[in-house]
Amino acid sequence: MKLVLAPMEGLADDVLRGVLTRAGGYDWCVTEFIRVTDSVLPLRCYTKLSPELRHGARTEAGTPVRVQLLGNDPTMLAANAVQLALLRPFGIDLNFGCPTPLVNRHRGGAALLAEPELLHAIARAVRTAVPAGLPVTAKMRLGIDDTSKAVDCAQALEAGGIDELVVHARTKADGYKPVRRWEWVAQIRRAVRLPLIANGEVWTLDDYRAIRAASGCDDVMLGRGAVADPLLARRIRGGAETAPNADDWREVENMLARFWTGVRQKVLPAQAPGRLKQWLGLMQRSYPQAEDLFRAVREARHGAEIDAILAAEGILAAPRAAA
């Protein structure tokens, strides 16, 4: 049984990855995507998105990091994979799941699921280009508007030589609606031999058990559920039957403090509040205390305002000096 922290564009950057993996429970995590177009990116592009590459491709907690690439040109993706391999990531992941309109308009992410032959060409080019010992994996949705090509896409990626496949159990059209097409993961599992990881709508321990039963997969990737409950992976590992509680919240407060400190060091003071609000917005699903804290910070527009609020709540030791 493996648990993997999902790539979440605009949400799970290196700061949040570091905080979540420090809580324990993950076998590895995957970065947000790096877009590949018509050039070979300099090494700094990879280390900017994944600073973990400067530290053995591991988070501060020691969790291995795979770096995700997004694009539609097999030759350029292969060339960038060779460049990325110089930094010794834990693995290279290929994005065939992003549903956002901007990415899809540029023929990236889930938009490629109409072209199994292109998926095969990309997988083959990248797998051939990088060292044999470096895992090349992929993450796909079930299709664009329907699931009619889901098995074809998975088989094309397998034939292309990928080592592992994550199946997000939604179509592009499903977006992030609460849709659970877990039975389709089971169909794909029966059609391929490569290791399969199930993903989609796992918010609780019960969801985790249900996706394993429905998909037949031992391994599961956690996405927004891991952000809503930062202790979810550890809860799953321990088989804990209790829902998030007040004792958990005290630990989550420490995680919030580490996260906020990291965000303040990374972004401009005016940009920082949005990051905290984004996390608290999702966390309200699991913790009523997060709802109270979200209301307290909702109107804050500057990092120093958040500093003062978190200090008043006892989450930070003292307010930071205004930046």
Its pTM stands at: 0.94
pLDDT of residue 323: 47
Q: Where are the domains of the chain?
A: 3-238, 246-312
The string of pLDDT tens digits covering residues 22-62 is 999 999 999 999 999 999 999 999 999 999 999 999 999 99
Catalytic residue among 29, 98, 153, 217: 98
- Count of residues making up the chain: 323
Instruction: Report d(CA 170, CA 94) in Å as an integer.
Output: 17
**DSSP for residue 198:** E
The string of pLDDT tens digits covering residues 244-292 is 888 899 999 999 999 999 999 999 999 999 999 999 999 999 999 999 9
The string of pLDDT tens digits covering residues 165-198 is 999 999 999 999 999 999 999 999 999 999 999 9
Task: Report the 10 Å Cβ neighbour count for 295.
Answer: 11
Kindly report the CATH class assigned to 3-238: alpha beta
Instruction: Report d(CA 193, CA 178) in Å as an integer.
Output: 29
**Could you confirm whether 153 is annotated as catalytic?**
no
Instruction: Report d(CA 178, CA 26) in Å as an integer.
Output: 24
Instruction: Report d(CA 60, CA 212) in Å as an integer.
Output: 29
Tell the CATH superfamily of the 246-312 domain: Dihydrouridine synthase, C-terminal recognition domain (1.20.225.30)
> Residue 54: which H helix or E strand, with range?
none
